[in-house]
Chains A and B, each alone.
Chain A
Amino acid sequence: MIANHSISDSRVSLPSLEQIVQVLTLEEYNTRVVVLGVMALGTAAGLVGTFLILRRRALTADALSHATLPGIAIAFMVMVALGGEGKNLLGLLIGAFVFGCIGVLAILGIRHTTRLKDDAAIGIVLSVLFGLGLCLLRIATELPNGNTAGLNGFIFGKAASMVANDALTMGVVALGVAIVIGILRKEWTLLCFDEKFGAVQGWPMLWLDVLLMAMVAIVTVIALQSVGLVLAVAMLIIPATSARYWTTKISSMLIAAAIIGCLSGWLGGITSALIPRMPTGPIIVLICGFWFIFSFIVGPVDGLIIRQITRLRLNRRISMQHILRAMWEVSEDTETSQFSIEEIVYVRSWSKRTVSKLLRRCEKLHFATRVSAKNWRLTQKGSAEASRVVRNHRLWEVYLITHADIAPTHVDRDADMIEHVLGRDLVAKLELLLETPALPKSPHPVGEQQ
């Protein structure tokens, strides 16, 4: 019977224009609370997450968020036992915070007292404390005065249950985080990049670390209500990791991460308000994921596209220098200024097609011109560039022969790779060291490498 009304039910119905305007202007109270709250959360998480990522603690934060569950259950039980209602948000969050910190301490403890590594320590703390949390939650449902409905909301997040006060708390926390980072930016940067240097300089590195993890715990705890403890870590690590593809400077990375976090919160908030049956937390995480993929591909620092372009450019420059040298050496060998494609093919192990393609590029750059149907010759500009490359190549060959005791027949290939990266300073040093003429002769026959 399940199969009868299958996938067609789950089709997403698109909202009307009126609805869109209503949501975008945050007219409705509930939408306003949720959207503003998650935007504040995204900002705070992006800021703290930047340092978390730089400190390579991504999964520690995951364990921290899972470890909050027993804290929530215990806080609930304690509040019920004291005669309270049990679902005081502040009380629950304090419990969560305390257990989050216990979780981090337990990880450090396991790492220091056993030979187990970080990964196992994190896994142990995460799963055992989460299991404890589940046990305690089950017990809490049996408390006589306790109404545990809604406690489960902390696991997957339940943004709909947010009220104005909660959004305000998130805003205050975001502001607080921003202020603390404003004060401690330099110190935390030092902590992430050169902890030992910081310690030598007399900074209290341990306390800076503790404070950073406390910030992570606070942000995780305020994320519980909207995003849930399973996914809270995503808010911390995804915006920050995405930001890294846009800049290498800490201050701009902080800003980028905050913007990505805030935008993800906003987009997630309005998406879940517009489209029915879209849980807010997972949608925000998915949007963070899209940001990551986008940054991963088009980001100007280490992005896929930029890296591909850089590589292609480098390859092109190398083959250009190779063909210039080939042309020069062929002309030198035959003692005429003209050469044919076949002669180039003979010198380098390239196909005829590659050679003619490269020659056409040389023509475009005015390095070479065609003199007849078969023959080419270097222009003055090409000749100058080619002799420079040849010179670098031969200087290195001579250096290898005289200073590294390598046989003349073996130096060509090494020099072939190094000629492209010899800088002006290095060439000057080689000239001084080798006392060579303006252009040494090739120590080995040209074109015998095949």
Chain B
Amino acid sequence: MSWSIIDTWIIIIGALCAAGCAIPGTILVLRRMSMMGDAISHTVLPGIAIAFLVTGSRDPTAMLIGSVAVGLLTAFLIQGIQSLGKVEAGASMGIVFTVLFAFGLVLMRQAVDHVDIDPDCVLYGSIELAWFDQEPDGLGIPRGAIVNSVMLLANLFVVLLFYKEFKITSFDPALAKSQGIQPSFMHYLLMTMTATTAVAAFETVGSILVVAMFIVPPATAYLLTNRFGMMFVFSIALSIVAAALGHLSAITIPTWFGFSGTSTAGAMAVATGVLFIVVLLVSPNQGMISRLWRRLSVRILVIREDILGLLWRLEERGQGKMLPIQLSEAIGTTELSVRMALLSLKKRGSVSKTASSWSLTERGRTNATKLVRSHRLWEVYLDKHFPQDTHQLHHAASRLEHVTTDAMESNLGHAEVDPHGSPVPDEE
């Protein structure tokens, strides 16, 4: 891997671009309008083509105006077709952006002899060549960096200025209206921001990969936090990491297999996806691993309490020792989970092991008494208030005993024996 100033600038430009996209993207994802970002970024192409045909030059200002105008038109048409034509939002977007994109392609093809922007360039962007486009000269800063920083700062400015308004309209449009905030004004402000950002970014990463920058980092951030402000922070951080990771892997990973490198813009999109998958797995609240762990620990908790209850009832009949395999058969679960539960009980000092059989310790007995007491009190309570088959009483009580708090138990009343005739143990 050979590193040069060009690579440094590629990462800087990519990071600026991605961070700028993440700002409107966060609001789009929160409002469940992610695909508006997709639709609007597609319509950059006809905007540029029209601006070119009208002015006959590649004047950046004309192209910006053209694309933003077509972007807003897209948002307007989607809304109009959706409400006037009773068409579902997704279909309405699909119709508008494909037709406009097709129109852009036809226009470009018509002007093919004298346009040096071709559809491919609109798709892939040209971040690899960004370093060579230094205008204005002499600063040593590529134009892409300037364009993307301006875009990032402008987006930051707008979001900070309308922070409260965006927050309220995103979560409760009705409340926003009652507070005097026009939801439609905020909608079109967001659409303008999205269109401007898509135009500024398309030269860097191309019009379809802008979508990755818009949607994936904010969606990833959504798995990490519940706070509106923090979502922006996480989105921007994630997009910067993705940009750096993307370029690094674009120039390294293919070399392991004997290729020279691959598309940086494409790799940045893939990097956002990789970060998404990583967060999807390890996120503390929403992640799959932590959710699996939580489910597992609840299961172990139930098994732990079932073991305590079982051993207590055995002692009541004069026994008091059991092998793990017997326990698992009696509780009706796997031996593995019983062993896990036993280890966790041992750590708490509730059970002890003698010659591969397990029995209660003093401390375990106290806890078990409490469990059995609440189980039998529940049976009494259920029998009194919801008379039913005694067999069913046991099942219902077995579920309730795991979630019974002290306050609940004290309200269950007092009884000497449960409906099966077993004595209710006293509290110790």
Contact = CB atoms under 8 A, between A and B. Distances in A.
Pick the most buried of B93, B98, B101, B262: most chain A CB atoms within 10 A of its CB: B98
B231 interface: no
Nearest to A283: B106
Interface string B245-278: 0000010001000011111011111101100100
A231 B266 contact: no
A294 B37 CA distance: 27
Interface in B90-138: 90-91, 93-95, 98-99, 101-103, 105-106, 109-116, 119-120, 123-124
Interface string B34-68: 11011000100000000001001110000000000
A144 B201 CA distance: 34
A304 B212 CA distance: 36
Interface in A117-138: 117-120, 122-124, 126-138
A134 B120 CA distance: 11
Interface stretch (B144-152, B215-223, B336-344, B369-377): B215-223
B220 to A, nearest CB: 9
Contacts of B119: 156
B384 interface: no
Contact of B58 (A2, A9, A110, A124): A2
Interface string B331-358: 0000000000000000000000000000
B56 A6 contact: yes
Contacts of B263: 134-135, 137-138
A2 B215 contact: no
Interface residues of B, number: 71
B124 A9 contact: no
A431 B37 CA distance: 58
B187 to A, nearest CB: 15
A127 B208 contact: yes
B273 A131 contact: yes
Contact of B102 (A110, A138, A245, A281): A281
A288 B223 contact: no
A5 B56 CA distance: 9
Interface in A226-243: 230-231, 233-234, 237-238, 241
Contact of B280 (A113, A117, A123, A230): A113
A240 to B, nearest CB: 8
Contacts of A353: none
Interface stretch (B9-17, B78-86, B159-167, B406-414): B78-86
Interface stretch (A37-45, A53-61, A319-327, A330-338): A53-61
Nearest to B116: A2
A59 B93 contact: yes
B276 A128 contact: yes
A271 B111 CA distance: 18
A127 B110 contact: no
Nearest to B271: A131
B209 interface: yes
B105 A156 contact: yes
Given A114-B286, A139-B262, A233-B98, A120 B29 contact: yes
Given A2-B58, A134-B266, A138-B266, A234 B99 contact: yes
A245 B268 CA distance: 42
Given A135-B262, A288-B99, A53 B91 contact: yes
A10 interface: yes
A220 to B, nearest CB: 13
Size class of the contact patch on chain A:
35 or more
A134 B266 CA distance: 6
Contacts of B222: 115-116, 120
Interface string A169-195: 000000000000000000000000000
B193 interface: no
B33 interface: yes
B378 interface: no
B99 A131 contact: no
Given A124-B215, A124-B216, A131-B273, A119 B260 contact: no
Given A116-B222, A233-B98, A9 B90 contact: no
A358 B158 CA distance: 53
B288 interface: yes
A444 B195 CA distance: 58
A3 interface: yes
A123 B216 contact: yes
A438 interface: no
Contacts of B219: 116, 120, 123-124
A122 B103 contact: no
Given A279-B105, A279-B106, A286-B103, A131 B265 contact: yes
B88 interface: yes
Interface in B204-232: 208-209, 211-212, 214-216, 219, 222-223
A127 B254 contact: no
B125 to A, nearest CB: 10
Contact of A5 (B88, B114, B223, B288): B114
Nearest to A296: B85
B10 to A, nearest CB: 15
Nearest to B38: A123
Given A3-B57, A237-B91, A237-B95, A124 B276 contact: yes
Interface in A1-44: 2-3, 5-7, 9-10, 12
B56 A286 contact: no
A393 interface: no
A167 to B, nearest CB: 22
A231 B99 CA distance: 8
Contacts of A57: 90
Nearest to B36: A119
B87 interface: yes
Interface string A277-317: 11101110110110010001000001010000000000000
Given A134-B124, A230-B101, A59 B35 contact: yes
Contacts of B86: 302
A58 B94 contact: yes
Interface in B259-308: 259-263, 265-270, 272-273, 276, 280, 286, 288
Contact of A2 (B29, B90, B114): B114
Given A113-B288, A127-B209, A128-B212, A58 B113 contact: no
Q: 10 smallest A-B Cβ distances: which pairs? A: A131-B269, A128-B273, A134-B266, A127-B212, A234-B98, A289-B99, A123-B215, A282-B102, A6-B56, A285-B102
30 contacts: A10-B111, A56-B90, A59-B90, A61-B94, A120-B219, A123-B34, A127-B38, A127-B211, A127-B215, A128-B269, A128-B273, A130-B269, A131-B212, A131-B265, A131-B266, A131-B269, A132-B273, A135-B250, A135-B263, A234-B102, A238-B98, A238-B99, A241-B87, A241-B95, A277-B109, A278-B106, A278-B109, A285-B101, A289-B99, A302-B86
Given A128-B216, A142-B259, A230-B208, 5 more contacts: A62-B94, A126-B211, A128-B276, A130-B208, A302-B86
